[in-house]
Amino acid sequence: MTPLGQILAARIAATGPITLAEYMAECLLHPAHGYYATRDPLGASGDFITAPEISQMFGELIGLSLAQAWLDQGAPAPITLAELGPGRGTLMVDVLRATRGVPGFHAALRLHLVEASPTLRAAQAETLAGQAPTWHDSVDTLPEDAPLLLVANEFFDALPIRQFQRDGDGWRERHVGLDGTTLTLGLGPAAPRPELAARLEDTTDGDIVETCPAAAPITSAIAQRIATQGGAALIIDYGDWTSLGDTFQALRAHEPTDPFAAPGEADLTAHVDFAALAAAAAPARHSRVTPQGVFLERLGITPRARALAARGDADAIAAQHRRLTHPDEMGTLFKVLGLYPDGATPPPGLEP
Ligand code: SAH
């Protein structure tokens, strides 16, 4: 058992089972032993690889979409350019490089990063040296007095989820308990759950549904700023309109692993329920949930790939293009949701 596993086992022995959300939060963000708190998990030598780490084209096209949204809204200044969970800062570097030629954009922007991990904050400080970012622990302290352009790639999938198993017209919560000294999943007592009333329509006995308690307040905080000050947000993650079933997963060294085997040592994620984000988007507007491959093709990833291929390793660029857009790779599983103010058009690549 890992040190964090021992801490959690002692707590469960003393006070009883914990929710999956509590388990996930401790595993990812425990200050001494949490997964994100203690390492840089990205890249070939880490546990998983993300779109910006696959190709510069991803961040470039996101940058151009956000800059065009800014132009379409009259190029206000100053503006907040924000990212949630920036990882190594790679996406933001590509955003900034691609938008260098947009007149007035760089002069107008103030860079704000929401990042929980001290290790990754240090990596971001290095990658973005010269940009003088301001770091935040949560979206709540993002400026409220300027338009907000925001991107979040693979951020919402890291937020803690709860799971409920249907039992008649009630629900039993899945808990993390103890079997001897081993952490194990158990079920709480059946209880009515008014917040899951709509899920009685699309589930049957024994089905599992997931909720992500932090997702709606975060979306709402972003939407409030965009609705009152202007701007746009691009939220990119894997998931679907609504999630059904157990999507909780652990990755270690690019391989799926048991999420309870080594607490703090594996990346834990769950699919994002885009319907829940869309429901929290008022008073801002939200776009259609759009497959990543469609979004990137609309923004011109194919001509961009051709231009890069003409200058360098054409096979590598073709492989990157395929990974980001092909339905068998990230093209369909990953989705994009845009937020924008009433009266504006969605950021390019998305439809109302
Ligand atoms: N967007 C990056 C990294 C994705 S990994 C990329 O695409 O490569 C998830 C990121 O979210 C990491 O930077 C992680 O430290 C951060 N993160 C996870 N949970 C968080 C939370 N609750 N608050 C702030 N940051 C969080």
Look up the CATH number of the domain holding residue 243.
Answer: 3.40.50.12710
pLDDT in tens, 314-325: 999 999 999 999
**Do the domain assignments include residue 194?**
no
**Do the domain assignments include residue 68?**
yes
Q: How far, in whole angstroms, is CA 82 from its chain's centroid?
A: 13
Nearest to 19 by CA among 164, 209, 131, 141: 164
| Ligand 1 probe mutation, 39, 58, 155, most atoms within 8 A of CB | 155
**Do the domain assignments include residue 148?**
yes
**Do the domain assignments include residue 175?**
no
At 48, the pLDDT band (50, 70, 90 cuts) reads confident
CB of 238 within 8 A of CB of 333?
yes
Q: How far apart are CA 346 and CA 281, in angstroms?
A: 13
The rounded Å distance from CA 66 to ligand 1 centre is 20
CA dihedral 196, 201, 206, 207 (to 10 degrees): -80
Q: How many domains does the chain have?
A: 1
Q: How many C-beta neighbours within 10 Å does residue 225 have?
A: 26
pLDDT in tens, 272-299: 999 999 999 999 999 999 999 999 999 9
* Mean of the per-residue pLDDT values of the chain: 96
The rounded Å distance from CA 251 to ligand 1 centre is 15
- The answer, yes or no, to whether residue 95 has pLDDT greater than 80, is yes
φ and ψ of 6, to 5 deg: -65, -40
**Do the domain assignments include residue 190?**
no
| Ligand 1 probe mutation, 48, 54, 117, most atoms within 8 A of CB | 117
Q: What tokens appear for 18 in the block?
A: 């914990």
Nearest CA to ligand 1 atom 10: 85
The rounded Å distance from CA 335 to ligand 1 centre is 17
Q: Which residues contact 41 (CB under 8 A, 6 or more apart)?
A: 35, 47, 48, 267
The rounded Å distance from CA 84 to ligand 1 centre is 7
DSSP H or E stretch at residue 144: none
**Do the domain assignments include residue 348?**
no
| Buried residues in 123-138 as b, exposed as e (16+ CB within 10 A) | bbeebbeebebebbee
Residue 190 pairs in a beta bridge with 172
φ and ψ of 350, to 5 deg: -125, 160
Position in ligand 1 atom list of the atom nearest CA 53: 8
> In 128-213, where does DSSP find H-type helix?
none
**Do the domain assignments include residue 51?**
yes
Nearest CA to ligand 1 atom 21: 116
Position in ligand 1 atom list of the atom nearest CA 41: 5
Phi-psi region of 229 (alpha: psi -120 to 50; beta: other; left: phi over 0): alpha
Nearest to 95 by CA among 130, 48, 124, 52: 52
**Do the domain assignments include residue 7?**
no
105-124: average pLDDT = 96
Model pLDDT, residue 45: 80
Q: How far apart are CA 56 and CA 137, in angstroms?
A: 27
Residues with CB under 6 A from ligand 1: 28, 36, 42, 50, 52-53, 85-87, 91, 114-117, 120, 153-155, 158
At 18, the pLDDT band (50, 70, 90 cuts) reads very high
Q: At 143, which amino acid appears?
A: P
CB of 84 within 8 A of CB of 45?
no
Q: How far, in whole angstroms, is CA 140 from its chain's centroid?
A: 17
At 46, the pLDDT band (50, 70, 90 cuts) reads confident
Domain hosting 108: range is: 34-160+213-340
Q: Is the pTM of this model over 0.85?
A: yes
Q: How far apart are CA 193 and CA 187, in angstroms?
A: 15
CB of 83 within 8 A of CB of 50?
no
Nearest to 347 by CA among 93, 75, 70: 70
At 105, the pLDDT band (50, 70, 90 cuts) reads very high
Judged on CB neighbours under 10 Å (0-12, 13-18, 19+), 17 is buried
The rounded Å distance from CA 153 to ligand 1 centre is 8
